[in-house]
């Protein structure tokens, strides 16, 4: 049975004032082009896509079991219609447990849950000298290691520090095998970043954070991203990255997209929570290790959108950076856009950009 909603619809061709009809997928869009500022109707935009999610609602991806289902439901309430459950650097047995849980969630979406597209393997193939909030279980990898892990869950993204011995060749092997590789938790130089991109890496994990910074005589990994990247993820909670740095990245990286890097503390009161094997504290609007190091976030994608608009982006541009560009990065042409044939992943916002309704594959939450 088809449903229909009316408002200012953000389509691939621009704004349409009219009606979108859908079941599991969008059936039709009727109406005419319009400047949405000229009327007071709601905004209908593509559902949010978050490629970096560690937890929410008191649950952590590394718990395995049904934790990912709880996490997917929490984020769905904030407009996330698709997501990648993200692992931590951990002992092999912990990663296996986490991926088994992700695999189960990816195989069957529960009612009221965001679609779990697969896993973002953020660790353990990172540099032990740039752990950020990751525990020190970093190790190097071979293609066979990754292929074994992919039997447990679809690996959609893999974060790699390319300067580790053997990892530049691994980047090429993974890319040739059709996997998306991104650079992160790295002490690598500008040259290391450029070489990784030339060998098939496509993006950067939480740009600016846990990587070598930009200096005018030593551009670092940040410099490689700003100079050469088409895609990179960024955490726009206004704690991880200064607004000025966000604006710099927006000018340099054409398809900069946003992630939450959210933790189990998301949607929960202040207090202690787990991030993998580490205890973290939610306080003062953020999540930190005992030494004060930022340890993921409590950001949700609806707030990410509002933050981008607050920085001066128009709603269409902000929407692309919390949805369409992430879909394009993964090659998902049926998500991240309101178009006939695409999944009916829709978010309805009022004029203050507050959520009014969320549809996931046509299901009203």
Q: Kindly name the residue from 42, 60, 94, 261 that is annotated as catalytic.
A: 261
pLDDT tens, position by position, 98-107: 999 999 999 9
Confidence grade of residue 112 (pLDDT, cut at 50, 70, 90): very high
pLDDT of residue 174: 94
Confidence grade of residue 38 (pLDDT, cut at 50, 70, 90): confident
What's the mean pLDDT in 2-22?
Answer: 96
Produce one character per residue of 190-212: b if its CB has 16 or more CB atoms within 10 Å, e if not. Answer: bebbbbbbebbbbbbbbbbbbbb
* CATH class assigned to 47-333: alpha beta
CA atoms of 107 and 86, how far apart (whole Å): 16
CA atoms of 29 and 6, how far apart (whole Å): 10
Confidence grade of residue 304 (pLDDT, cut at 50, 70, 90): very high
Torsion of CA 324, 95, 66, 83, to 10 degrees: 0
pLDDT of residue 19: 97
CA atoms of 181 and 229, how far apart (whole Å): 13
How far the first Cα of the chain sits from its last, in Å, is: 16
The 8-class DSSP code of residue 174 comes to H
pLDDT of residue 220: 98
Produce one character per residue of 144-163: b if its CB has 16 or more CB atoms within 10 Å, e if not. Answer: eebeebbebbebbbbbbbbb
pLDDT of residue 314: 97
pLDDT tens, position by position, 215-241: 999 999 999 999 999 999 999 999 999
Residue 64, pLDDT above cutoff 90: yes
What's the mean pLDDT in 66-83?
Answer: 98
pLDDT tens, position by position, 241-291: 999 999 999 999 999 999 999 999 999 999 999 999 888 999 888 899 998
Confidence grade of residue 123 (pLDDT, cut at 50, 70, 90): confident
pLDDT tens, position by position, 144-189: 999 999 999 999 999 999 999 999 999 999 999 889 999 999 999 9
Give strand pairing partners of 262: 53, 297
Residue 1, pLDDT above cutoff 80: no
pLDDT of residue 277: 87
High-pLDDT (> 90) share of the chain, %: 93
pLDDT of residue 313: 98
Q: Is 261 considered catalytic here?
A: yes
pLDDT of residue 228: 98
What's the mean pLDDT in 308-334?
Answer: 98
pLDDT of residue 285: 84
Q: How many residues comprise the chain?
A: 365
Averaged confidence pLDDT in the chain: 96
């Amino acid at each position: 049975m088809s449903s229909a909603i009316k408002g200012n619809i953000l389509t691939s061709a621009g704004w349409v004032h009219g009606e979108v009809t859908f079941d599991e997928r969008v059936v039709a869009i009727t109406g005419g082009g319009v400047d949405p500022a000229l009327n007071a109707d709601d905004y209908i935009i593509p559902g949010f896509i978050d490629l970096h999610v560690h937890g929410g609602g008191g649950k952590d991806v590394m718990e395995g079991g049904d934790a990912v289902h709880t996490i997917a439901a929490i984020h769905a309430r904030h407009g996330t219609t698709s997501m990648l459950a993200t692992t931590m650097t951990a002992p092999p047995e912990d990663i296996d447990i986490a991926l088994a849980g992700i695999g189960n969630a990816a195989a069957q979406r529960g009612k009221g849950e965001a679609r779990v597209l697969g896993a973002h393997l953020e660790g353990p193939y990172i540099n032990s000298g740039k752990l950020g909030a990751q525990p020190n279980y970093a190790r190097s990898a071979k293609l066979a290691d990754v292929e074994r892990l992919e039997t447990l869950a679809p690996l959609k993204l893999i974060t790699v520090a390319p300067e580790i011995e053997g990892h530049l060749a691994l980047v090429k092997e993974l890319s040739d095998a059709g996997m998306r590789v991104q650079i992160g938790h790295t002490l690598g130089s500008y040259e290391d970043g450029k070489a990784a991109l030339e060998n098939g890496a496509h993006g950067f994990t939480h740009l600016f954070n846990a990587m070598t910074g930009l200096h005018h005589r030593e551009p670092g990994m940040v410099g490689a991203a700003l100079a050469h990247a088409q895609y990179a993820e960024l955490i726009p909670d206004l704690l991880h990255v200064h607004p000025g740095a966000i604006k710099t990245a927006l000018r340099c990286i054409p398809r900069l997209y946003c992630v939450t890097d959210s933790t189990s503390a998301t949607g929960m009161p202040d207090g202690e929570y787990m991030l993998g094997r580490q205890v973290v504290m939610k306080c003062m609007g953020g999540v930190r290790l005992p030494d004060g190091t930022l340890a993921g976030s409590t950001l949700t994608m609806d707030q990410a959108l509002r933050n981008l608009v607050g920085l001066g982006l128009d709603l269409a541009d902000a929407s692309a950076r919390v949805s369409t560009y992430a879909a394009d990065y993964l090659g998902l042409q049926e998500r991240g856009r309101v178009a006939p044939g695409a999944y009916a992943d829709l978010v309805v916002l009022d004029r203050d950009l507050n959520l009014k309704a969320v549809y996931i594959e046509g299901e009203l939450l």
